[in-house]
Chain A
Amino acid sequence: MNSPQIEIQIIAVIVAMACAIPGVFLVLRKMALISDAISHAILPGIVIGFFVTQDLNSPLLILLAALTGVITVVLVEFIQKTGLVKEDTAIGLVFPVLFSIGVILISKNANDIHLDVDAVLLGELAFAPFDRFMVEGTDLGPKSLWVMGSILLITISLLLLFFKELKVSTFDAGLSSAIGISPIVMHYGLMSISSITVVGAFDAVGAILVVALMIAPAATAYLLTEDLKKMIGLSLLFGAVSAISGYWVANVLDASISGSIATTLGVIFLIVYLFAPKKGLISVLYRQKQQKIEVSLITFLLHLNRHDEESERHINHLREHINWQEVQARTVLNLAEKNNLIEIKNSVVSLTEKGLTFTEKSLEYIVNNKDEKIEPMKEDFFLFRG
């Protein structure tokens, strides 16, 4: 590893971490797509800022572009308020138009501007170390390291300062305004921080991949935990891990670093999506199947409870009556028998004492429909859950 390689990795990790923090709140506030809108819509701001400053890393340009981002949010909210179109359409209309203006500005001034559209979309992390920050002839490291480093510092200090406020306004806007924390201030604060982060990061990773860095770590973390602090921690971790591994994948394939970081984020998300212990696809499907059997079991027991006459409780009759497939009928019957809820004598099924109490309790639950009745019941009777 040589020193530009180390610098690129450090920049990548810092960018990923700076994006992950606002990303968590955007995902929790169901505003993930605002990051997409901002990342596209800042383009005209960047181009105009570039006309003025002639330097992609100048703080003035970042502020100008971030302002465009906030204007986008205001514009989207204005269109939503008119009620002419549904909310998502408002987002979908605003950002392509602003982005188009940016693209046209660039292509009309291609000679004066050292900016091309591919670079805006993709960014080029590999070039980041060559733009040095010089003070009186001393080399202080790459400029983008300083820019993103300060953005990350600001984000972290704001997060620590306003953690409580952010938390309450994210989860309960009503309570938040009641205790004197304005959700609107928090909203625009978050939007401004997101805009600044997107603008700072776009140079390194490009407009669209900023979205990946914001949303993917937060979404992955959200599948694993419901604790806000843990979620932020996990997002930071996922961001950093994929930044470094993405860099090395790109190195091997000799391809775009930012594309490869996004792909790594995607792979991590896919793994968590499939295998997360509680919220993952496999465990959800397993749980759904189990719940289906539980419902069948209760239906079956209630049926037995209703009928005293033997003909109604004959094994063959039951299958016709409840209209089950043979396999399902057998599963339910075996389950009930294994748990000593029923006994079978001469092909006639009857409830045991335990089965009777269980059925009565479930009936009570169905009538009252209160969760506190069913939960302990499951623990008492459903031995098969282990």
Chain B
Amino acid sequence: MSITEYFNLLWDDYTLRTITLGTAVLGAICGMLGSFAVLRKQSLLGDAISHAALPGIALAFLITGAKDSGILMLGALISGLIGTFWIRGITSKTHLKSDTALGLILSIFFGFGMLLLTFIQKQPNANQAGLDKYLFGQAATLMESDVQLMIIVTGISLFVMLLFWKEFKILLFDADYTKTLGFNTKFIDVLITFLIVLAIVLGLQTVGVVLMSAILLAPAAAARQWTNSLGTMVLLAAIFGAFSGVFGTAISASQNNLSTGPVIVLVAGVFVLFSFIFSPKRGLLFREIRFHQNRTDLKLMKTLQFMYGIAQEHENISHPHAIRILNNFHGFTKSSLKKLENEGWIIIQGQQWAITQKGFKQAQEMYNQKTMNE
């Protein structure tokens, strides 16, 4: 199946529609809540939580014997929350730093989850196949009920986010101020973290524990490059996330042997790379161009300053001088001389130049500015 075929089938085929809708909704909610994770410097918390959710899934299966994704998700949610609060406990009560706490919880919970999974595999319970999909995710296993659950959870998180928008925003940018205003910062903090954990757990079935954090981060990191407003960033991240989900699913469905998770991550990675390079304000390309421009401007000003220095010593400022004396001056070229002339700062006559009234003033003002700044 090629990609165009996939999009043609999208409108007729029930399964494809469900899966695509599922990944789109997932991308949107992750992008939305991921923006908060990125801005709160909790990027890697997502990674830790998604790994920490694994034992919860395995334990939920061991206890209930059910394969119902709702129950497994509940287990994942509980174990993800335990991991999150343990990380907080470690960083706040001991001298271990957050990176150690994150790596520790991540690897230990994952290891414990793997222990349980391998234990389950050896059990004489034919039911157990399918837990593996939580490692890398299988969008193909999404059912309509799963997608409905996703939409409901997304709706609730959106509602909560809009309800507490002001609180979330102020906590994000100035936690101390929020506290002095009398907001219950602990509650808001826990609420945001809870929503992030919820989004991660929701995506485990589709993307898997190993790569879930990237779905959370990448759309938000890409969106961050295009705007400085929180609202726009959340919206953009949701859009980027949804598109990564749809394209990722399309590509993985059109090829054999491709897990959905890695493909979605790569698509999201392309979004990030594109934003890093081409974003007009922060992007590397335009930044390089701006640097270059500033550098030429600076050189031009240097030349003008030098000319000003010479002109100052003469009574008539427009007294012509030989171009020759500029030659050993750093930053002087034919083109820069031409540019100065185009600006109307100097006049060139044959082998001689003379500073104009306008150019003299320009240099003088710059000089004043310089002394003022000092």
Contact = CB atoms under 8 A, between A and B. Distances in A.
A96 interface: yes
Contacts of A259: 111-118
Contacts of A262: 107-108, 110-112, 114-115
B104 interface: yes
Interface in A88-107: 88-89, 91-93, 96-97, 99-101, 103-104, 107
A329 interface: no
Interface stretch (A24-32, A334-342, A362-370): A24-32
B103 A104 contact: no
Interface string B242-280: 000000000000010111011101100100100010000
B67 interface: no
Contacts of B132: 118
B347 interface: no
A122 B89 CA distance: 28
B107 A93 contact: no
B263 A104 contact: yes
Interface in B27-43: 38, 41-43
A322 interface: no
A265 B119 contact: no
B184 interface: no
B171 interface: no
Given A36-B103, A100-B266, A30 B114 contact: no
A65 interface: no
Contacts of A212: 104, 107-108, 110-111
A379 to B, nearest CB: 24
Given A122-B114, A254-B119, A93 B94 contact: no
B199 interface: no
A293 interface: no
B90 interface: yes
Interface residues of A, number: 64
A244 interface: no
Nearest to A206: B114
A253 B265 CA distance: 35
Interface stretch (A178-186, A214-222, A294-302): A214-222
Contacts of B72: none
Contacts of A153: none
Interface in B304-362: none
B121 to A, nearest CB: 8
B106 interface: yes
A35 B112 CA distance: 19
B306 to A, nearest CB: 34
Interface in A253-291: 253-256, 258-263, 265-266, 269, 273, 279-281, 284-285
A27 B95 CA distance: 11
A161 interface: no
Contacts of A88: 41-44
B110 to A, nearest CB: 5
Interface in A192-224: 206, 208-209, 211-212, 214-216, 218-219, 222-223
Contacts, number: 203
Given A92-B44, A100-B263, A103-B136, A281 B111 contact: no
A241 B221 CA distance: 42
Contacts of A158: none
B120 to A, nearest CB: 9
A247 to B, nearest CB: 12
Given A32-B99, A86-B41, A88-B43, A103 B259 contact: yes
A69 to B, nearest CB: 16
Contacts of A84: 221, 224-225, 276, 282, 284
B135 A107 contact: no
Contacts of A211: 103, 106-107
B262 A104 contact: yes
Contacts of A35: 103
Contact of B218 (A93, A104, A250, A285): A93
A89 B107 contact: no
A110 interface: yes
Given A86-B43, A222-B96, A259-B112, A215 B258 contact: no
A110 B255 CA distance: 13
A108 interface: yes
Contacts of B110: 208-209, 212, 262
Contact of A36 (B42, B90, B106, B262): B106
Contacts of B38: 85-86, 89
Interface in A18-57: 27, 30-33, 35-36, 40
B99 A30 contact: yes
A154 B210 CA distance: 31
Contacts of B96: 27, 219, 222-223
Contacts of A96: 210-211, 213-214, 218, 265, 269
A121 interface: yes
A82 interface: yes
Given A88-B43, A88-B44, A118-B132, A93 B257 contact: no
Nearest to A213: B107
A117 interface: yes
Contacts of B295: none
B209 to A, nearest CB: 9
A89 B112 contact: no
A117 B136 contact: yes
B97 interface: yes
Contacts of A284: 93-94
Contacts of A79: 276
A118 B117 CA distance: 12
Contacts of B135: 117-118, 121
A219 B100 contact: yes
A218 B210 CA distance: 24
Nearest to B248: A100
Contacts of A92: 43-44, 46-47, 213-214, 217
24 contacts: A31-B99, A32-B97, A32-B100, A84-B225, A86-B43, A88-B41, A88-B42, A89-B43, A100-B263, A103-B136, A104-B258, A122-B118, A208-B210, A209-B111, A212-B107, A212-B108, A223-B94, A256-B115, A259-B118, A261-B111, A262-B110, A263-B115, A281-B93, A281-B94
Given A32-B104, A222-B100, A263-B111, 4 more contacts: A86-B41, A104-B262, A255-B116, A256-B115
* Minimum-distance CB pairs A-B, first 3: A262-B111, A96-B214, A259-B115
